[in-house]
Chain A
C-alpha cells in the first residue's frame, strides 16, 4: 500500500520525500489543477528539480491536471499533458475525458490515474475509464463506506487509491458546484473552492464574520476563531436552528482503519493538502509512513499510537478528525 503525499511547492516535495512518501503529487501554476492558489505549485523549472529530487530517491512523481477545461481552454490543458510527458512524471492525474482522450492518443505510454475529480464512485464507473482511457489507477471520492470500498476494489479493473488524511470534502468531488453557485468559480472550472478574491473577514461590534461574495458563511464571537469560508463547513439556519448543517470543520483521519484498507486491497493512501506548509507535510508524512509500515510489517498487531493521533489531531481543521463516509453512521 503506497503513501501518496502532497507537494504544493519544492520545499514540501523535499520534506515529503525525506519523510518517506512513496509518491508525491504536484500541479502547475495555473487553473489546470484543483489547488489553483496564489503562491502555490510549480514552474516547469521547479518541476524538473522536484522530479529529479524525488525519482533519484526512489519516490514517484504524479502531476495533477485534474480540472475541466472549456473548449477554448483545452490547448492549455493539452500543453500540461505534453509537459508531463516530456518531464517523465510517473503518472498524470486526470479528470476530464477530453484531456484523457488527448493523453491516450498523443502519449500512449504515459500512465493515467483517474483523479478524485473524475467522480467515479462505483466499479462500473472506474471500469468505464479503464476500458476507454486505459487508466492505471483510480482515486475515489470520499463518499463510500469501507464495505463499499472493498466491493469496488474487488470489482475494479484497476488498483484503487483512497484518501487517508486531510481536509474532508463532504460532497462528491468533481460534482460540487457550491462555490461556483456563490461566486462563479469553483473546483471544476477554476481549480479552487471559495477563491480568495471573494472571501471577506469582517469585524462588527460584537462578531467576526466570514463572507463569500457577500454571503454570510459563519460568524463567531470576537474572541473565537473562525475557519476559511468553504460553504460546506459554514453555519446556517435550518428549521429555526443554527448549526453546521453540512459538516463541522474537521479533517479525515484513517489511522484506525489503515490495516483494514490494506486488507481489502487498497493500492494507495493519499494525503490531502498541497495548500499546507512544508512543516505540516513533513509531520503528516512521518506519521502516515510509520503507521503504514506497521500495517505492512505486522498487520495482525497494528495499533494506532496515541502520539500519531495527537500529531494528526493538532494539524486538523478545528482540531477535530473523523472517519467520514468510511464509517456508516457518519452518513
Chain B
C-alpha cells in the first residue's frame, strides 16, 4: 500500500451562517461521506447562535457513532468575556479533541489535565522553534498556516505531529472587530439583524472592474478564489487534507478527493473535475511561493 492511501480527509468547520435545519441535514450527509475527521463549531462570529455548544456536542456524538473522528473548533477572534467562557467549556470537555484557533484556546487548554490540542491554521507557527514550543505544551496536530509554501513545510522536522493541509476551499485571510456584511447593509455589528444568513456562501467583494477579489463573511475576509491543493495528496509530509464546506458542491468535492486518494482517479483527472465543479476561480499560489491568489499549473 502506498502512503497516499493512508491520507485522511477532514472537513473544516462551516465558516458561514447556515440555519439550524440545513446544518443538521448537512452533517447527516457528512456522516455518510468518506470524510474521516470532522471539525465542528462556530469559528467566525459568537453572535451566530443557531446552534448552541450542546447542539454541536450532540452532532459530534452522532458523527462519532458513524465512525468519524470529531474535533471541536474554537472561535478565531476572541474579544468578549462571554466568548472566553464558551471557549473554556470547549477546552474543559473531554469527549472530543480541540482545535485552538487563537492563543487564548492554547492557554485554556494547557490548564487542563488532558491538554492535547490541534493548532488551527490561524496560529502563527512559522518556524521549528515555535512548533517545538507548542509541542511541549500539548500540540499533537498542526493545520498548516496559509502563507507556508511547500518548501517551507519540508524544512520542518514534524516528528510525531500530524500535518493537516487546507486543501480545498476559500482561505480565511483576515479578521476584524467590524462586521463587513452588516456594514454593507449600513448596520453596525450590534444591530446586524443576522444579515449574514442571506449569504450562505459569503458575499463577493469585487474590484471596480468586476473582477473576483475577496469574499466578505461577517468579521472574516476570505479569498475570492478557492484554494486547491489536491496536488499535495502525493506529498509525504501531509497526513490530512482539509476541505472547507460550501453549500453548492461540498459532497462532490469530497467524493473527488476520496477517489484520487484511493487511486480510482488520477490527480490530473481529479484536478480537471474539481475545476469543472466550481464556478469560482481556483488558486494554489502560496504553496508555490507566489501570491496566494495565483494558480500555478
Tell me if B21 counts as interface (CB < 8 A to partner A): no
Tell whether A122 pairs with B79 under 8 Å between CB atoms, given A73-B127, A170-B178, A184-B285: yes
Instruction: Give me the interface of B with A, judged by CB distance under 8 Å.
Output: 77-81, 83-84, 87, 102-108, 110, 122, 124-130, 133-134, 137, 146-148, 152, 155-156, 171, 173-180, 183-184, 188-190, 203-211, 213-214, 216, 221, 223, 285-286, 289-293
Tell whether A178 pairs with B176 under 8 Å between CB atoms, given A143-B79, A186-B147: no
Tell whether A180 pairs with B127 under 8 Å between CB atoms, given A215-B207, A237-B205, A237-B207: no
Tell me if A188 counts as interface (CB < 8 A to partner B): yes
Most buried by B among A71, A122, A181, A188: A181
Instruction: Give me the interface of A with B, judged by CB distance under 8 Å.
Output: 68-74, 95-99, 101-102, 118-125, 127-129, 131-132, 142-145, 148, 151, 170-172, 174-178, 180-184, 186, 188-189, 213, 215-219, 231-232, 235-239, 241-242, 245-247, 324-325, 328-331
Contact of B221 among A96, A118, A180, A246 (CB under 8 A): A246
Tell whether A125 pairs with B107 under 8 Å between CB atoms, given A188-B126, A245-B216: yes
B184 contacts A97, C-beta separation under 8 Å? no
Residues of chain A within 8 A of B77, CB atoms compared: 121, 143, 172, 175
Residues of chain B within 8 A of A97, CB atoms compared: 124-125, 129-130, 133-134
Residues of chain A within 8 A of B152, CB atoms compared: 70-71
For the complex with contacts A238-B205, A331-B188, 4 further pairs of A-B residues with Cβ separation under 8 Å are A71-B152, A175-B77, A182-B291, A182-B293
Residues of chain A within 8 A of B104, CB atoms compared: 121-122, 124-125, 128
Residues of chain A within 8 A of B110, CB atoms compared: 128
B291 contacts A184, C-beta separation under 8 Å? yes
* A213 to B292 Cα, complex, angstroms: 12
* A180 to B213 Cα, complex, angstroms: 13
A143 contacts B156, C-beta separation under 8 Å? no
Residues of chain A within 8 A of B291, CB atoms compared: 180-184, 213
B203 contacts A238, C-beta separation under 8 Å? yes
B199 (CB) vs chain A CBs: closest residue = A239
B129 contacts A143, C-beta separation under 8 Å? no
A237 contacts B210, C-beta separation under 8 Å? yes
Tell whether A71 pairs with B128 under 8 Å between CB atoms, given A125-B103, A182-B291: yes
Contact of B180 among A132, A186, A215, A245 (CB under 8 A): A245
Residues of chain A within 8 A of B211, CB atoms compared: 215-216
B129 (CB) vs chain A CBs: closest residue = A98
Q: How far is the CB of B89 from chain A (nearest CB, A)?
A: 13
Residues of chain B within 8 A of A177, CB atoms compared: 146-147, 171, 173-174, 292
Contact of B177 among A120, A178, A325 (CB under 8 A): A325
A68 contacts B213, C-beta separation under 8 Å? no
Residues of chain B within 8 A of A331, CB atoms compared: 177-179, 188-190
Residues of chain B within 8 A of A127, CB atoms compared: 107
Tell whether A124 pairs with B129 under 8 Å between CB atoms, given A70-B152, A95-B124: no
Residues of chain B within 8 A of A218, CB atoms compared: 208
Residues of chain B within 8 A of A329, CB atoms compared: 188, 190
* A112 to B6 Cα, complex, angstroms: 43
A215 contacts B213, C-beta separation under 8 Å? yes
Query: 11 A–B contact pairs at CB < 8 A?
Result: A70-B126, A71-B152, A98-B127, A122-B102, A124-B108, A131-B107, A145-B79, A170-B178, A176-B174, A177-B147, A178-B173
Residues of chain A within 8 A of B126, CB atoms compared: 68-71, 96, 98, 188-189
* A97 to B83 Cα, complex, angstroms: 24
Contact of A143 among B81, B176, B293 (CB under 8 A): B176
* A144 to B173 Cα, complex, angstroms: 19
B292 contacts A171, C-beta separation under 8 Å? no
A121 contacts B188, C-beta separation under 8 Å? no
* A156 to B144 Cα, complex, angstroms: 29
Q: How far is the CB of A177 from chain B (nearest CB, A)?
A: 4
Contact of B124 among A68, A121, A128, A219 (CB under 8 A): A68
B174 contacts A171, C-beta separation under 8 Å? yes
* A329 to B178 Cα, complex, angstroms: 9
Residues of chain A within 8 A of B221, CB atoms compared: 171, 178, 246
* A284 to B190 Cα, complex, angstroms: 33
B290 contacts A184, C-beta separation under 8 Å? yes
* A257 to B173 Cα, complex, angstroms: 31
B133 contacts A325, C-beta separation under 8 Å? no
* A286 to B77 Cα, complex, angstroms: 35
Residues of chain B within 8 A of A70, CB atoms compared: 126-127, 148, 152, 155
Q: How far is the CB of A241 from chain B (nearest CB, A)?
A: 8
Residues of chain A within 8 A of B79, CB atoms compared: 121-122, 143-145, 148
B184 (CB) vs chain A CBs: closest residue = A238
Residues of chain B within 8 A of A330, CB atoms compared: 177-178, 188
Q: How far is the CB of A191 from chain B (nearest CB, A)?
A: 13
B188 contacts A245, C-beta separation under 8 Å? no
Tell whether A170 pairs with B205 under 8 Å between CB atoms, given A101-B129, A128-B103: no
Residues of chain B within 8 A of A217, CB atoms compared: 207
B188 contacts A328, C-beta separation under 8 Å? yes
User: Which 4 interchain pairs have the tightest Cβ spacing?
Assistant: A98-B129, A128-B107, A181-B292, A143-B177
